[in-house]
């Protein structure tokens, strides 16, 4: 499928690179290979979304330097670092920079494929939540100032009478605004509305 995440494998060792690519392909993921981090960056603007699997020690640019460059450019794809035993402190440093996982050599087929699946699943969930957050944020933007005030009261679990007192309006007027808010937000219930408002804030708090 066109929407399937692509796994980008970066390793200067051709045999290791091709073996890993074969394994990933057998697991059902589209895969692209690159002999260096700089080669990968040369194609970064046109890359299909997915997951990056990179070795740590490579000539020209290390895996850690690649991660730093990706952060500078705002590329959000999850990164899995492959490391030798002596590189574990370096890999831990990479984890602190937000790397999805690191796999120590020698690794089993199950370990690397499991790490890729977990990273892809987390990234898909993150993307779906971000899209949902933006959708709800747009709905909130269509609310009037007073409707937003009523929404805030509902999110705080305040009864209509308390919201009315806080806003110096009648309880009946609160009911009208509440109905408008539910309709504009396309919420089926109060709990649904509260969830929408909570998710929408993820966009503005990011």
C-alpha count within 13 angstroms, C-beta hemisphere, residue 47: 24
Sign for the CA dihedral angle at 142, 146, 148, 151 comes to negative
d(CA 81, CA 50): 15
Note down pLDDT in tens along the chain; length 206 residues.
346 789 999 999 999 999 999 999 999 999 999 999 999 998 887 777 889 999 888 888 888 888 888 888 877 789 998 887 666 676 666 666 668 888 888 889 999 999 999 999 888 888 888 889 999 999 999 999 999 999 999 999 999 999 999 999 999 999 999 999 999 999 999 999 999 998 888 645 44
Which residue, 182, 178, 183, is CA-closest to 158? 178
Q: Write out the two tokens for 112.
A: 């690397």
Q: Write out the two tokens for 166.
A: 């806080």
Q: Which residue has the tokens 């700089």?
A: 38
Domain ranges (residues) in the chain? 6-129, 142-205
CATH number given to 142-205: 1.10.10.10
Whether this model's pTM surpasses 0.85: no
Tens of pLDDT, residue by residue over 55-93, are 888 888 888 888 888 888 877 789 998 887 666 676 666
Q: Write out the two tokens for 1.
A: 């499928």
What DSSP string describes 116-176?
HHHHHHHHHHHHHHHHHHHHHHHHHHTS-HHHHHHHHHHHTT--HHHHHHHHTS-HHHHHH
CB-based contact 60:53 (threshold 8 Å): no
CB-based contact 4:31 (threshold 8 Å): no
**CATH class label, 6-129:** alpha beta
């Amino acid at each position: 499928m066109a929407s399937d995440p692509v796994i980008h494998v970066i390793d200067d060792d051709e045999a290791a690179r091709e073996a890993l690519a074969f394994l990933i392909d057998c697991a059902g993921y589209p895969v692209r290979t690159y002999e260096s981090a700089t080669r990968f960056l040369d194609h970064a603007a046109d890359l299909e979304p997915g997951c990056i699997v990179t070795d740590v020690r490579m000539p020209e640019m290390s895996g850690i330097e690649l991660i730093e460059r990706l952060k500078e450019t705002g590329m959000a794809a999850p990164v899995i670092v492959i490391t030798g035993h002596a590189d574990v402190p370096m890999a831990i440093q990479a984890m602190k920079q937000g790397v999805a996982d690191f796999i120590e050599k020698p690794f089993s087929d199950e370990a690397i494929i499991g790490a890729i699946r977990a990273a892809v699943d987390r990234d898909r969930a993150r993307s779906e939540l971000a899209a949902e957050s933006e959708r709800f944020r747009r709905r909130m933007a269509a609310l009037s100032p007073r409707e937003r005030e009523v929404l805030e009261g509902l999110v705080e679990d305040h009864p209509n009478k308390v919201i009315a007192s806080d806003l110096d309006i009648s309880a009946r007027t609160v009911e009208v605004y509440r109905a408008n808010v539910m309709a504009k937000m396309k919420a089926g219930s109060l709990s649904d509305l509260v969830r929408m408002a909570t998710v929408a804030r993820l966009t503005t708090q990011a």
